[in-house]
Amino acid sequence: MSNRLDDWLEFGTYVSKHIEEYTVPQYGDKGNDRATELTIQDLLKDCEKYIKRFGKVTRERQEQDFYKMAHYICIAWDKWMDADCDGKRH
């Protein structure tokens, strides 16, 4: 396994924990949360907000912002795949 994949898997573990312990309890799960109603453009705009405040918040807040961006990108990708493939994944 490559070092890059190792890094991704480690990061994914942190994002998974963030989703399960913070996002879902606070906002609900897929189909019953704010993100379900957002467009791909809305999700990417939210990521831009976190990018623009990079370096301007505490380290702990910055860490959470990375997890949020990854989660929003995943949701945007999921919506894009559904729209692009008519629900048929590759």
CB-CB contact of 13 with 66 (8 Å): no
State pLDDT tens for residues 7-22.
999 999 999 999 999 9
Domain that residue 69 falls in? 3-85
Q: Is the pLDDT of residue 43 over 90?
A: yes
Percent of the chain at pLDDT above 90?
Answer: 89
Per the structure, how many domains does the chain have?
1
Which 3 state secondary structure label does DSSP give 86? coil
Q: Is the pLDDT of residue 90 over 70?
A: no
User: Is 39 inside any structural domain?
Assistant: yes
pLDDT for residue 61: 97
- Whether the per-residue pLDDT at 70 is higher than 60: the answer is yes
Query: Has residue 88 got a pLDDT over 90?
Result: no
Across residues 42-50, what is the average pLDDT? 98
Question: Phi and psi at residue 48, in whole multiples of 5°?
Answer: -60, -35
Q: Is residue 90 part of a domain?
A: no
Identify whether 51 is part of a domain.
yes
On the question of pLDDT at 87 being above 70, the answer is no
Any domain includes 44:
yes
Look at residue 14 and give its three-state secondary structure. Answer: helix
